């Protein structure tokens, strides 16, 4: 934690991620969205990050949040959900980042349907963490904190 206090960090989630716990638990696990929020904010405090977790099913809202992050030099953990594979508008917003941005996925997209093998975000992200369940978020937050520490 800096002398100014914890560093604001956004954890942004795309479509259907608000349904964690009930949505395909064999793929996405049994942790609820509220559980995800709790785990991310608790780890954030430990790492000196003020984590705010958001979820949207609206592509335009996601783009606005990425603009907010770029304008404020706010680090981002981004799980684009289905936007990963086709949202060039979201990709272009992520490319404007002014702080680290880590793409995250609960499942391993490369072990799933072929259409999930392409990420339009990966090329503009600082890095990608995938396939570790909800732990993917924790790994991403740790990577962000390490990157911010220099």
pLDDT level of residue 15 (50, 70, 90 thresholds): confident
- With a cut of 50, say whether residue 136 has pLDDT above it: yes
In this prediction, residues 129-133 reach a mean pLDDT of 93
92 appears as a binding residue in the annotation: yes
- Give me the pLDDT at residue 65, please: 98
142 appears as a binding residue in the annotation: no
**pLDDT tens digit string along 96-114?**
999 999 999 998 877 677 8
Give catalytic residue positions: 28, 105
- Give me the pLDDT at residue 138, please: 97
> Phi and psi (nearest 5°) for 102?
-110, 120
107 appears as a binding residue in the annotation: yes
How is domain 7-149 classified at the CATH fold level? Rossmann fold (3.40.50)
- Give me the pLDDT at residue 29, please: 55
pLDDT level of residue 132 (50, 70, 90 thresholds): very high
Better pLDDT: 31 or 93: 93
147 appears as a binding residue in the annotation: no
Query: To the nearest 10°, the Cα dihedral for 70, 77, 110, 31?
Result: -150
Helix 135-149 with 33-47: angle, nearest 10 deg: 20
Evaluate whether 148 touches 75 at the Cβ level (below 8 Å).
yes
**pLDDT tens digit string along 27-71?**
555 577 889 999 999 999 999 999 999 999 999 999 999 999 999
The proportion of the chain whose per-residue pLDDT surpasses 70, expressed as a percent, equals 87
């Amino acid at each position: 934690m800096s002398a100014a206090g914890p560093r604001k960090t956004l954890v942004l989630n795309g479509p259907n991620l608000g349904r964690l716990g009930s949505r395909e638990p064999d793929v996405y696990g049994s942790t609820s969205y509220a559980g995800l929020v709790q785990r991310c904010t608790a780890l954030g405090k430990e790492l000196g990050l003020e984590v705010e977790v958001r979820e949207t099913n609206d592509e335009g809202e996601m783009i606005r949040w990425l603009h907010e992050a770029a304008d404020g030099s706010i680090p981002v953990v981004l799980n684009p959900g289905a936007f990963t594979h086709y949202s060039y508008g979201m990709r272009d917003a992520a490319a404007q980042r002014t702080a680290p941005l880590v793409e995250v996925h609960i499942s391993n997209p490369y072990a799933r349907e072929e259409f999930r093998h392409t990420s339009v975000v990966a090329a503009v992200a600082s890095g990608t963490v995938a396939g570790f369940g909800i732990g993917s978020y924790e790994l991403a937050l740790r990577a962000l904190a390490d990157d911010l520490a220099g």
